């Protein structure tokens, strides 16, 4: 295993799509401070790259130096003002300054820690915790949750709701002992606790929920744990000649794929200009791919849980929460890492080292056939390029994985692990809206919705989208045996035609085609989006979910490209009532999307009915989708894969008594 970061080249000049460097974040803040009188109450919510307009990017020649700009979200705590600024790094000027009324920007890390300190010092909270038998307040663990929206939530006040858990020691899993029924509201502008509600004492669950080996072996922790397994032998991933990819700055070449690896503080990992080299021509597939929103509504009406409906991207920022990855743990093999640069609330750059991991993986058999008459076998192994990152959002860990395969397939997968958000019930009771995972401890029902924004460019920027269903034909003269079925395509001609649902009974998928480019069979070239596991929100009309996360009630949306439309739930979901921004309002414009520059938005869900096996730390759960070429190539693009070296071996023998070699 090797860290390859030091062996690659980095251009002297940043590409127009490269994320901001630490020096550029510093320069941005300096320019703003020079040109604007920023009061001490001003906080820097985010400093990110202002990507060039697509027309500007596509109109420039190869290697052209485009102007570098940054996009800054500021918040003045004294006046509760949210300000957007665009700064030219090329000319060292502030190009625009826009005050946004009635919105709350995402929650800053300094506010997380401030809310915890304020709550712990509040006498009302202390009294409530004493009622649970806790006198050492330093053992309290407070998770600041976004408030959601309710009629008694003043939209002019910046609020957060910390939930309380009690540790038994510094490394203890505090989620094993939730303080049920204790609600706190903190005003982040005034920096004061404005409300404490205690809905009645529920005893703290008795059992620890530790998962570190040194803690599990302590008396009373996990009696079923008898030590780590001793039958797991080493499994090494080696590439003696190094990896097949090359990296220059943020540009990646791997086999026939070409792309740029980007980053933003809000979205985290971003892919740019994804294309496939086919017979000497680089054919574009996706102009830009990113996760546009994450939304997690809980299905428990208890006071401690009913307000939980969080937009992890729009209310917190996934990029700020990325983990520094460690070789040999999160990724295996010949690893290349990309750092990520974010900012603190004072505007200082913060570098997250090794935030994005890239490596190759064996992906099983790509294709195989044995001619049983001649006993000749041809088999090729598949390989994929993995570009990934992990974010810790409070109790949960989310892994975001893009896979590029050497047969032209693309896959996006979210891996969910970490610790469930827990609740407590009294002895002898069972939760009505969750699953008991330990004595008096339960995990509430909840859902995780992810929306991925795909700015498509299938062989160019004029694409059309069709919905494809498979349907049986009635028995008749042309179908006497009743076994016939066909596919039926429905063109999504206008934005009002989008907002589609999956239908597994029709094997539904969607194709993104280029009507101007015809493949070998005379059909337009395309890619198809293949859904995976999915459902819709359980919360009905009139709920917070319905009002604030309208995008989640449909799986596929298609919009005409608009560089200002980036996020499925709108720019500022924090404390937003909803209904005025995001995908439902985007498609209300009803723009034509046939043979147009289109953006495809796909929503998918991890529907989580908690299991006892999800405690104390959750085994990884996976959810995602595929993009597969359909008529994009003249045939199997992996026919030219070389055979693998005959390195398969076994020392264990076989059932027929032979020892394979």
Cα–Cα distance, 483 to 474 (Å, whole number): 9
* Joined tokens for residue 29: 């803040």
Quick one: CA torsion of 9, 10, 11, 16, rounded to 10 degrees?
Answer: 130
Secondary structure of residue 453 in the 3-state scheme: strand
Q: What is the 3-state secondary structure (H, E, C) of 242-284?
A: CCCEEEECCEEEECCEEEEEEEECCCEEEEEEEEEEECCEEEE
User: How wide is the angle at C-alpha 368 spanned by C-alphas 365 and 372, nearest 5°?
Assistant: 145
Bridge partners, residue 6, by sequence: none
Residue 223: Cβ within 10 Å count: 9
Is 211 a residue of the active site?
no
> Helix %, strand %, coil % for the chain, to 5?
15, 40, 45
Residue 12: Cβ within 10 Å count: 5
Phi, psi of 176 (to 5 degrees): -75, -20
Phi, psi of 512 (to 5 degrees): -110, 110
Q: How many residues comprise the chain?
A: 661
Radius of gyration, alpha carbons of the chain: 27
Burial class (CB in 10 A: 0-12, 13-18, 19+), 367: middle
Indicate which residue of 75, 298, 390, 396 is catalytic: 396
Cα–Cα distance, 332 to 328 (Å, whole number): 5
Cα–Cα distance, 341 to 34 (Å, whole number): 22
Cα–Cα distance, 208 to 174 (Å, whole number): 8
Cα–Cα distance, 648 to 626 (Å, whole number): 29
Cα–Cα distance, 118 to 161 (Å, whole number): 12
Indicate which residue of 312, 407, 459, 597 is catalytic: 312
Cα–Cα distance, 535 to 555 (Å, whole number): 9
Give the closest residue to 87 by CA, choosing from 100, 75, 71, 66: 71
* Joined tokens for residue 482: 């009743």
Is 396 a residue of the active site?
yes
Contacts from 341-344 at CB under 8 Å and sequence distance 24+? 341/19, 341/20, 341/21, 341/22, 341/25, 341/263, 342/46, 342/47, 342/265, 342/317, 343/25, 343/29, 343/44, 343/46, 343/47, 343/265, 344/44, 344/109, 344/110
Q: What is the DSSP string of 480-518?
A: TTS--EEEEEEE--BGGG--B---GGGT-EEEEEEEEEE
Residues 6+ apart with CB under 8 A from 306: 298, 300
Catalytic residue positions, numbered: 312, 396
């Amino acid at each position: 295993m090797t860290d390859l970061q030091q062996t690659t080249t980095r251009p002297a000049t940043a590409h127009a799509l490269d994320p901001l460097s630490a020096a550029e974040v510093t320069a941005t803040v300096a320019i703003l401070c020079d040109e604007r009188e920023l009061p001490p109450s001003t906080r820097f919510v985010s400093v990110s790259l202002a990507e060039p307009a697509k027309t500007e990017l596509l109109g420039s020649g190869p290697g052209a130096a485009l102007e570098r700009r940054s996009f800054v979200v500021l918040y003045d705590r004294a006046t509760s003002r949210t300000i957007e600024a665009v700064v030219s790094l090329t000319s060292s000027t502030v190009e625009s300054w826009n005050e946004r009324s009635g919105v709350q920007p995402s929650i800053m890390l300094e506010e997380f820690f401030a809310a915890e300190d304020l709550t712990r010092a509040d006498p009302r909270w202390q009294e409530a915790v004493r009622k649970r038998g806790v006198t050492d307040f330093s053992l309290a663990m407070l998770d600041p949750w976004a408030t959601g929206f309710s009629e008694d939530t003043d939209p002019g006040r910046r609020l957060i709701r910390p939930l309380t858990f009690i540790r038994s020691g510094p490394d203890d899993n505090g989620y094993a002992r939730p303080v049920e029924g204790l609600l706190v509201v903190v005003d982040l502008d005034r920096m004061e606790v404005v409300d404490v509600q205690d809905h009645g004492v529920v005893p703290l669950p008795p059992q620890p929920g530790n998962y570190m080996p040194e803690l599990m072996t302590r008396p009373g922790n996990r009696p079923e744990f008898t030590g780590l397994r001793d039958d797991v032998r080493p499994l090494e991933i080696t590439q003696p000649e190094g990896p097949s990819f090359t990296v220059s700055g943020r540009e990646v070449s791997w086999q026939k794929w070409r792309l740029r690896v980007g980053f933003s503080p809000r979205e985290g990992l971003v892919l740019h200009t994804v294309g496939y080299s086919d017979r000497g021509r680089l054919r574009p597939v996706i102009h830009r791919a990113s996760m546009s929103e994450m939304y997690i509504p809980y299905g428990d009406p208890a006071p401690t849980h009913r307000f939980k409906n969080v937009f992890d991207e729009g209310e917190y920022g996934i990029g700020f929460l990325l983990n520094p990855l460690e070789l040999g743990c999160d990724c295996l093999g010949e690893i290349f890492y990309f750092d990520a640069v974010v900012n603190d609330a004072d505007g200082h750059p913060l570098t997250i080292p090794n935030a994005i991991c890239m490596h190759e993986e064996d992906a099983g058999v790509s294709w195989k056939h044995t001619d049983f008459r001649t006993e000749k076998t041809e088999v090729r192994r598949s390989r994929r390029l993995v570009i990934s990152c992990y974010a810790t959002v409070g109790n949960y860990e989310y892994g975001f994985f893009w896979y590029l395969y050497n047969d032209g397939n693309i896959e996006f997968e979210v891996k969910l692990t970490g610790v469930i958000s827990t609740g407590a019930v009294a002895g002898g009771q069972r939760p009505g809206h969750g699953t008991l995972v330990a004595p008096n401890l339960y995990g509430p029902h909840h859902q995780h919705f992810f929306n991925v924004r795909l700015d498509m460019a299938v062989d160019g920027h004029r694409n059309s989208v069709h919905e494809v269903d498979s349907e049986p034909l009635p028995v008749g003269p042309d179908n006497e045996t009743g076994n016939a079925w066909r596919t039926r395509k429905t063109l999504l001609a206008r934005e009002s035609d989008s907002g589609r649902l999956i239908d597994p009974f029709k094997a539904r998928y969607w194709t993104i085609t280029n009507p101007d480019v015809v493949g070998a069979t005379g059909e337009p070239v395309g890619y198809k989006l293949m859904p995976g596991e999915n459902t819709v929100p359980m919360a009905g009309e009139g709920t917070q979910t319905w009002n604030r996360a309208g995008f989640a009630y449909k799986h596929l949306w298609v919009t005409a490209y608009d560089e200002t439309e980036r996020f499925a739930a709108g720019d500022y979901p924090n404390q937003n009532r909803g209904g005025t921004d995001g995908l439902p309002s985007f498609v209300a414009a009803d723009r034509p999307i046939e043979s147009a520059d289109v953006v495809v938005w796909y929503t998918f869900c991890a529907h989580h009915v908690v299991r006892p096996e999800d405690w104390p730390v959750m085994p990884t759960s996976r959810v995602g989708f595929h993009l597969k070429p359909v008529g994009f190539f003249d045939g199997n693009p992996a026919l030219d894969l070389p055979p693998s070296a005959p390195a398969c071996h076994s020392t264990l023998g076989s059932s027929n008594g032979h020892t394979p070699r």
